[in-house]
Amino acid sequence: MEQQQSSYKERERTDLREPRRFKVTIYNDDFTTMEFVVKILTAVFFKSTAEAEALMMKVHESQSAVVGIYPYDIAQSKVQKATRMARNEGFPLRLTVTPEKE
């Protein structure tokens, strides 16, 4: 009796590596209140109040700040949640996701 050969081939993955990381940047504007920015940083990005206030002041003084570095899906999710919260409150807050330099 003849043995049947499987049409499946086993592959060994040897090129495993860490997923690419992405920076989330928040930008200053003239309408979003400082209190709301602190609220976003504590509620969405899980920063302590002190860290959130320091980041908020950095954004206010230098027009933008990196608020975190995450895998792509998490970064996108956080930006969408923060943007949705801002729009619900009537603020034009802007955040972006960009690849981290390797």
**CATH number of domain containing 26:** 3.30.1390.10
> Where in the sequence is the domain holding 28, given as residue range(s)?
21-99
Is the model more confident about 6 or about 46? Answer: 46
Task: Report the chain's mean pLDDT, rounded to a whole number.
Answer: 91
Residue 1 lies in a domain: no
Domain count, the chain: 1
Residue 47 lies in a domain: yes
Residue 11 lies in a domain: no
Q: At what angle do helices 72-88 and 34-43 cross, to 10 degrees?
A: 140
Residue 71 lies in a domain: yes
What mean pLDDT comes out for the span 25-37? 96
Q: Is the pLDDT of residue 49 over 60?
A: yes
| Alpha-carbon gap, residue 16 to 5, rounded angstroms | 29
Residue 8 lies in a domain: no
What mean pLDDT comes out for the span 40-44? 97
- The whole-number pLDDT of residue 12 equals 73
50-89 residue pLDDT tens? 999 999 999 999 999 999 999 999 999 999 999 999 999 9
Residue 84 lies in a domain: yes
